[in-house]
Amino acid sequence: MTTVEGMLKLLRAYDGPPLDIMEVCGTHTAVAARSGLRSLLPQRIRLISGPGCPVCLAAPAYIDKLCALAQEGCIVASFGDLLKVRGSGGSLLDARAQGCAVEMVASPMDALAIARHNPQRTVVMAAVGFETTAPTYALALRSAQEEGIGNFRLLTALKRLLPALEALCADGSVDGFIAPGHVAAIIGSDCFTPLARRFGRPFVVAGFTPENMLAALCTIVQKAHTAFAGNLYAEVVRPAGNAKALAVIEAYFEPGEAYWRGLTQIPASGFYLKDRYKQYDAGSRGLHGGQERGDCRCGDVLTGRLSPVQCPLFGGVCTPQNAVGPCMVSAEGACGIWYREGAAYDD
C-alpha cells in the first residue's frame, strides 16, 4: 500500500460497519478540504472534524474577560483570529473600536516587547493554544522574570488535548482518530496508547499532506475496533515527545478544569500558571462557558456531531465576513475551511 491508488482501493473495498474517523487537528481539516479527500471516501467511512482549533474553543466568558481588562485600561495583546471571536458582549475588535488598547501580535514575545516599552501599563497576553504553543508562553514569562518586567500578564485558555480525547472516546461516537502531528511532536506518540487500550480505538499520528492522511485512514480502517496506537510521522514525532518543551511546560503550568465548547467542563484539561507565578496571571481560573448564541452549532461541529453545512447559520447569517461562531472565524475552524472550499462539501 505504497501508492495513492493502492490506498484508495483499500478504502473503497471496505465493507464493514460504518466508521466515523475524526481528524482532530484543524490543519488536517484544511488538508482534507483542499485535497477533496472526503469526496474520495466510500459512504461507509466518514471523516469528521474535532476540537483541534484553540481559537474555536475560546469560551465567551474568556472573551468577555479580555474585553473587560481592555476597558479597565490594560493593553490586551492577541493573535489575529481571536480578535474577531465574539463573547456575550462583543469581541476584542469591538473593544478596540470603542477606544480600548487592543494589539494584534504574532507571538508572546511581541506582547512582552509591548510591556517593555509601556512600563506604566499592564499588558495582558491572550494565551490560547494546546501543548504546542504552551512552551512559548512559558518562555515569554521566563524572559519577563529575568528582565524584571513586572507589568506582563497572561490570561490563559490553554488546553491539554488528551482529556478531551478521553471524553470523546467515552461518548462512543468516534471509531478512530487521526491524531494531531503538531501536538504529538510535544507530548509524544506513546501518549495515545493508554486511550487506545482503554477504549479499544485506533489512534494514528499523521503528517500534513493528503498522502499522510490517506495512509492514516488506511491504517485506522485496518485496525478498526481494536486497541492500536501508531505513528506515521516519525520524522517529527518521537515516542516520548519533546523533553525540553515538556520540561518548560511543567516548570510554569499545572493542570486544571477547563471549558471545551461542545464538551463543557473537563477535569485537568487546561493549563494554568502555578501559584508561584500567580502575580503574572490576569484572572484565568474560574472562567466557565458563558452565554452563547443558541442557534450557533459550533459545539456540535467541534465534536463531530454535525458537519458545518448542517448548522442552520452556515453560509447565510454566518460567513467569514460576518462570523457568528468561532468555527467560522478561525483559519483552522472547520466552518471557515468548509465555506472557503465551497462546493467541495455538498453534505
| Side chain identity, residue 292 | E
- Report helix, strand or coil for 137: helix
Q: What is the pLDDT along the chain (347 residues), one digit of tens a residue?
A: 579 999 999 999 999 999 999 999 999 999 999 999 999 999 999 999 999 999 999 999 999 999 999 999 999 999 999 999 999 889 999 999 999 999 999 999 999 999 999 999 999 999 999 999 999 999 999 999 999 999 999 999 999 999 999 999 998 889 999 999 999 999 999 999 999 999 999 999 999 999 999 999 999 999 999 999 999 999 999 999 999 999 999 999 999 999 998 888 999 999 999 999 999 999 999 887 777 777 899 999 999 999 999 999 999 999 998 899 999 998 889 999 999 886 444 44
User: For residue 279, what pLDDT is reported?
Assistant: 97
Please report how many Cα atoms fall inside a 13 Å half-sphere around the Cα of residue 202, on the Cβ side: 24
Res 94: pLDDT: 96
For residue 2, what are the CA distances in angstroms to 9, 173, 210, 211, 214? 11, 30, 13, 10, 11
SS3 annotation, 25-42: EHHHHHHHHHHCHHHHCC
Q: For residue 346, what pLDDT is reported?
A: 47
State the Cα–Cα distance between residues 104 and 125, nearest whole angstrom.
10
pLDDT of res. 331: 85
DSSP state of 43: T
pTM for this one? 0.93
Domains of the chain: 1-293 (3.40.50.11740), 298-340 (no CATH)
Structure confidence at residue 293 (pLDDT): 78
* CA-wise closest residue to 134 among 275, 11, 247: 247
Looking at residue 287, its pLDDT comes to 83
What's the CA gap between 326 and 333, in Å, rounded?
A: 7
Tell me, what's the pLDDT at 344? 43
- Complete edge-to-edge strand list for the sheet that includes strand 264-273: 102-104, 75-78, 123-129, 152-159, 264-273, 253-260
Query: Sign (positive/negative) of CA torsion 263, 267, 268, 274?
Result: positive
pLDDT for 206 equals 97
Distance CA 321, CA 111 (A): 27
d(CA 36, CA 39): 6
- Position 74 scores a pLDDT of 98
- The answer to whether the beta carbons of residues 208 and 235 sit under 8 Å apart is no
CB distance 259 to 58 below 8 Å: no
Gyration radius from the chain CA atoms: 20
